[in-house]
A = this chain, B = another copy of it.
Amino acid sequence: MSARTPEAEPLLTPAEVATMFRVDPSTVTRWAKAGKLTSIRTLGGHRRYRETEVRALLAGIPQQRSE
């Protein structure tokens, strides 16, 4: 193992977010397209979501969206 571990923020797959919200994965995609959810893209175009943001939304904490 390398001595240094780069800090990486935990990300979730579309399926994981869908399971947590009890919705279809395509619905999560719509949320991302609508800007309701921050999405990070893999180099192949697949979306990943911030775990902290998802948990906050699940907890009912209103998020602040710039623009």
Contacts of A6 in B (CB 8 A): 12, 16, 20, 51
Contacts of A13 in B (CB 8 A): 2, 22
Is residue A26 contacting chain B, with contact meaning CB distance below 8 A?
Answer: no
Contacts of A57 in B (CB 8 A): 43
Q: Which of A37-59 contact B (CB under 8 A)?
A: 37, 40-44, 48, 51, 57-58
The interface size bin for chain A is: 20 to 34
Cβ distance A47 to chain B, nearest Cβ, rounded Å? 10
Given the contacts A6-B12, A6-B16, A41 and B22 also touching, CB distance less than 8 Å = no
| In the bound complex, CA of A57 to CA of B45 (Å) | 12
